Amino acid sequence: MYKKTLFSALLLMCCQPIVMACDACKKKQAVVLGGLTHGKTPDSNWDYLIVVVMVVVVLVIFFYSVKWLIRPGEKSAGHIKQFILE
């Protein structure tokens, strides 16, 4: 387990320069997301709005997925879950 953790940490440290933006890309990027990735950052406020809406949708879906996985709400005697459990 220790070797896997050490290998993962070393791999992440070695890959960081590859993932982060180079100097040429940093000059083209906006201030908000500058330096985080290669290529262009969003051009207009609509791009930021789309990203924020998608993040909210993903977080809501993740919340309800975990909630219903931990506490499913089926309590009726006629639910198919009761037939499987019996």
Chain-centre distance for alpha carbon 35: 19
Q: Does residue 5 or residue 74 have the better pLDDT? A: 5
pLDDT digits 0-9 by tens, 13-46? 776 666 666 766 767 666 666 666 666 667 778 8
Give residue 61's pLDDT.
97
Give residue 55's pLDDT.
94
- Find the Cα–Cα–Cα–Cα dihedral 28, 30, 36, 39, rounded to 10°: -40
The answer to whether 48 touches 42, Cβ cutoff 8 Å, is yes
The answer to whether 48 touches 34, Cβ cutoff 8 Å, is no
| Residue 59: pLDDT over 70 | yes
What is the pTM (predicted TM-score) of this model? 0.53
Burial readout 3-22 (b: 16 or more C-beta within 10 A, e: otherwise): eeeeeeeeeeeeeeeeeebe
